[in-house]
Amino acid sequence: MPGRGKCFAGWRGIALWSIVAAMVGCTAQPTVDTRYHAISQDSRVQFIVLHYTEIDFARSLQRLTKEEVSSHYLVNDQPPTIYRLVDENQRAWHAGASFWQGYTHLNSNSIGIEIVNLGNGGNPRAAYAEYPEQQIKRVIELVRDVERRHGVRPDRVLGHSDIQPLTKQDPGPRFPWYQLALAGLIVWPEPESVAAARAHYAQELPVVLWFQQHLRAHGFDVSQNGQLDEVTRLSLSAFQMKYRPALYDGMPDAETAALLEVSTRPGGWVLMGADGQWHTYRVPD
């Protein structure tokens, strides 16, 4: 049946041509002229978020590479080594349902750094683990490099507890935030202003609504209801862990009020300069 054979051959030719055309279409790329560059642009990366793993290195690596959570970097303790697990151009799943200064879902605009540290093992009554000095040096090197390359502002280096205070405590009260401040990587409440404000608030402590307003201005997602509710207490605790880790009970007191006021006051932040001196840091508009 020659007619049928010709028909089959014709259809086979058409099918082959369709496949070739599809392949050409998939591989062809448009010609793009890249000579012009807009000045109104910046990095996708706006925040750096620090975590502790709460488990050892082997289990941390398994969880962050084989399960439904991830981070851009993992910093081991023994030996102190930096591992990149997710390319910085990709989104890692480390921040969850987060909030800071109106930004939500910080996975999309942050670099996540997990630090191998057992924390308190998930037991609120247990002591937190220390961070080895050499491991912190690696963290400082990494934060400095990410800040430099992406232009991350020093007021946007955060802890997981900052952006998820209801459920997270990492990197915990043992993490040496002040050491990062001395390295010029994060801002710090100006000490003399804090001391003066503390003396003032020791005479009369502000009401709960005042604390809520200042926590909100600082960055936390706190309701302004005037009640010392769970969200307010846990946000206070996260703030205290970072700036007053000796006591992080989540209760309003004069020192916390002073730290909050200075942290939200224009010109209240200072940043360590290359000259080894504190300089006033103005938050960009």
Which residues are known catalytic residues?
114
Give the Cα separation of 42 and 18 in Å (integer): 43
* CB contact at 8 A, 153 and 284: yes
In the structure encoding, which two tokens stand for residue 231, read together? 């969200």
In the structure encoding, which two tokens stand for residue 102, read together? 């109106």
Supply angle C-alpha 42, 44, 49, rounded to 5.
120
The partner residues of 47 in beta bridges, in order of sequence, read 110
Per the document, the length of the chain is: 285
Q: Which candidate, 168, 182, 88, 100, places its Cα nearest to that of 136?
A: 182
- What torsion, rounded to 10 degrees, do the Cα atoms 234, 237, 239, 241 define? -140
Which stretches of 64-179 are assigned E, i.e. beta strand?
73-75, 82-84, 99-100, 103-104, 110-115, 157-159
- What torsion, rounded to 10 degrees, do the Cα atoms 171, 235, 47, 273 define? -80
Give the Cα separation of 187 and 268 in Å (integer): 10
Give the Cα separation of 51 and 56 in Å (integer): 14
Give the distance, in angstroms, between the CA of residue 274 and the centroid of all CA atoms in the same chain: 24
Please tell me the chain's helix, strand, coil percentages from 3-state DSSP, rounded to the nearest 5.
Answer: 40, 10, 45
How do beta strands 103-104 and 99-100 pair?
A: antiparallel
